[in-house]
Amino acid sequence: MRKLSLAITLLIAMPLAAETLEQFDKKLETELRAMNPGAVAIWLNANTARAANHHQEAVRLYAEVYKRVPKFVHALRRQAGEEMELGQKIQAHDHARQALAQDRSTENLATMALMLISGETARTEKELTEARSLSGEAVTRNPRDTFANGVLAEVAIASNDLGLLRKATEQLMVVAPNEMATQVFHHIVAASDGNWAESRQALDRARQLGLPAKQYAEMSKHLESATPFYVRWWKPAAIGVASWLGGFAFLLLAGAVLSHVALRSARQIPSQLSQNATGLGSVVRRLYSAVLLLCCGFYYASIPLVILFVIGAGGGLIYAFFAMGRIPIKLVAIIGGVVIVSVWSMLKSIFVRAHDEDPGTKLDLAGQPRLRAALDEVAEKIGTRSVDNVYLTPGTEVAVMERGKHAKRERCLILGIAALDTLTVRPFKAVLGHEYGHFSNRDTAGGSFALAVRRSVGATAYGLATGGAAAWFNPAWLFVNGFHRVFIRISHGASRLQEVLADRWAVFAYGAEAFEQGLRAVIERSVRFDAHVGATLKEVVNRKLPLANLYTYAPSTAVDVSKAVEEAIHRKASAYDSHPSPAERFALVRALPQRSAIRVSDDDASAWSLFSNAEELQQKMTAQVRANVMANYGVKISE
C-alpha cells in the first residue's frame, strides 16, 4: 500500500466529481456576489488561472479577493492550495490553518488534512495523527462529501491504515463509484485483501475513467509483482489444459468414429472380387492417415506442456510447504525425484532412435528353391514385388515389413516356423497372399512418424517405470498412459481396416476356403504352441533334461487347449485390437464373390515340404529358445 501512495497524492488533490465542482463553484460565486459584486470578476479570473495551472497568478488573485472580502474564506483556502502547488509549504500551511480557524467547514478540515500529508518530505507521527483527526471530523460533518472521503482515504494510505482506507473506500463506492480516485482506492483495498481479480478490474476501470497511462502502468506493474504466480497463471493454464484435453477428446472421438466407419466400409461387399483396397476404403484410409498424423503431432506438441505442468505441479507443492512453514524433507525429496525422472524420461524419449536389427534369423533363400518359387508365385498373383528375404523366428507369427531408406527398400517376410506344423501348401500360400496384400496396399510403406511416436511413448513409459515415477499422481505417467490408449485406438483402428482389405487379396488369389483354413491353422497352432512351450520348458528345466528340438519334443503331461482355441477364434475384438476377430474375418471373406479355385498337385502337402532342411531349422530355432531362457532367467538347458 505504501508503494502506491505516491501515485494517489496528486489524484486526491483533483476534484472527485466534475459536476459537483461546477455546482460548488456556482454556489461560491453567488455567495461572493452577495458580499461584494466587484470581487466576482477577480474570483473568476483566479479560478481560470488555477484551472490552467498558472499557480502564481492564481495565488495573487485569490489573495486580492480575500483582501477585499475577508469573510470569504474560500479565497484563502484556495490560495493555500495554490501555494502548496508552488512548493510554498509554510505559507500554505499558515493560510490553511487561518482558514480553518475562521471557519471549521468540511472543505477547510479536509484541505488542512491534505496539506499535512502532502509533499515529498516524510510525515511526522504528529502530522499523521492530526490529519486523521481533521479528515475524520470532515467526514463526520458531511458523510457524503466526496472530497472529504477522498482525503480520508489518502490519509489512511499515508498512515498505512488499511482499516481506515477500507472504511473510506466503502463510502466512496456509495457516493462516487464512477470517479477515478474511488476506483484506485478500491484497487488498493482489494489487492491488500488478496482479491487480485477484483483489484485488476478496479484498476482497469480507473484507467477508463481517466487515470493517466504512466500511473496506470506503474500501478499495474506493482499489482503484477504482488499477485501470486498461481493466481496470475491459473486462467491461462486452465484454458490451455482445457484445450489440450479437448484435443485429446477430439482424437479419441475421431478414432471411434473412424473405427465404426472402417468396419462398415469393410462389410460392404464388392461386386467384383478384384475390387480391393485400391478403391474400397481409400477415403477412410486417407482420413485415418490424417488423424494419425494429427495424433503424432499432438504428442510432440504435448511434451513441453506436460513437462511444464510436471515442474509447475512439483514446484507448487514444494512452494506450498514453504508457505506453510513446515517442510517435510522426505516428501519434498520424493516430489523432486519424480519431477526429475519425469522430465528426463520425456526429454530423452524425443531422441530415441530405432536400431535396424534383423527381425529374426535370416534364411538363405538360395538353398530353398521351392519356397522361393512359392513366394514368387504368390507375388505374381497379387501383382506386387516378392519379398527379398525371409527371417525365421521360433514362434507362430507371420508378418511382413519393409526396411531401409533407398528407392528399392528391402521387403521382409517374418515367419514363425511353429506355424508350419499344421499348415498345408495352399492355405500357407493364402496366408502369404494376405501378407503380400499389405505390400500391394502400401500398408508397410511410410509410417516412420507414427513409429517414432510409438518408440518415444514406450521409452518414456520405461523411463518412468524404472525410475519409480510411474504413479497415478504423476501427470507425466497419466499423459503417457492416456495418450497410449488414444494412439493405439486410432492406429489399431486403421490396422483393422488394413487387415480386412488384405484378406481380400488372399481370397482373390486362393479363395476364401484356403484363406480360412490357413488363418484358422495359424491361430490354433499359436494357442497349442504356447501351451507346448510352457509344458516342455517346465519339464526339461525341472528334470534337467536336454532339449535338442523343441518342435518334436513330447512332454509327459498333455495339456487340453481345445477350449482356448475356440475362445481365440470366436472372441470379440475390442477397440484396442489391431485385428478384427477371426470369426468376423471368416464371415467377411465367405461373403465375397468367389473365384473358381485352380488347384495343383502339392496343394495338400505339408508347408514344410517347401523347405529343404526342416529339422535343421527347428534345431536352430530351438538353440535360440535355449539362449533366450539363459539370457532372461539364467537357466541353462543343454542340447
- Domains in the chain, number: 1
Q: Nearest 5°: CA angle at 253, between 248 and 258?
A: 130
User: Which amino acid belongs to residue 544?
Assistant: K
Per-residue pLDDT averaged across 249-278, rounded? 68
Is 254 a domain residue?
A: no
Per-residue pLDDT reduced to its tens digit, 549-580: 999 998 988 778 889 888 888 888 877 787 88
- Calculate the alpha carbon distances from 241 to 233, 237, 254, 479, 529 in Å: 12, 6, 20, 12, 48
Is 371 a domain residue?
A: no
The CB density around residue 435, as the number of other CB atoms within 10 Å, is 23
Is 221 a domain residue?
A: yes
Q: In whole numbers, what is the pLDDT of the chain averaged over residues? A: 85
Residue 225 burial by CB count (10 A; 0-12/13-18/19+): exposed, middle or buried? Answer: exposed
Least confident range of 51-60, 279-288, 395-404, 454-463:
279-288
The continuous run of DSSP H or E covering 481 comes out as helix 475-510
Per-residue pLDDT reduced to its tens digit, 362-421: 999 999 999 999 999 999 999 899 999 999 999 999 999 888 776 678 899 999 999 999
The whole-number pLDDT of residue 595 equals: 66
Per-residue pLDDT reduced to its tens digit, 581-627: 898 888 888 888 776 566 777 888 999 999 999 999 999 999 999 99
Is 474 a domain residue?
A: no
Q: How far apart are CA 517 and CA 56, in angstroms?
A: 111
Q: 389 and 473 in contact (C-beta within 8 Å)? A: no
Is 138 a domain residue?
A: yes
Q: How far apart are CA 474 and CA 451, in angstroms?
A: 25
The whole-number pLDDT of residue 166 equals: 93
**Residue whose C-alpha cell reads 483533483 in the numeric block:** 14
Q: How far apart are CA 187 and CA 166, in angstroms?
A: 11
Q: Which CATH number goes with the domain that contains 132?
A: 1.25.40.10
* Closest of 64, 123, 60, 48 to residue 86, by C-alpha: 60
Band of pLDDT at residue 41, cut at 50, 70 and 90? very high
Is 463 a domain residue?
A: no
User: Quick one: CA torsion of 7, 8, 10, 11, rounded to 10 degrees?
Assistant: 120
Q: What range does the domain containing 186 cover?
A: 5-227
Q: Residues with Cβ < 8 Å from 351, sequence gap 6 or more?
A: none
Three cell numbers written together for 227: 499477485
Per-residue pLDDT reduced to its tens digit, 491-533: 777 788 788 888 888 888 898 899 999 999 999 999 999 999 9
Is 319 a domain residue?
A: no
* Closest of 438, 448, 429 to residue 401, by C-alpha: 438
Q: Is the pTM of this model over 0.85?
A: no
Is 36 a domain residue?
A: yes
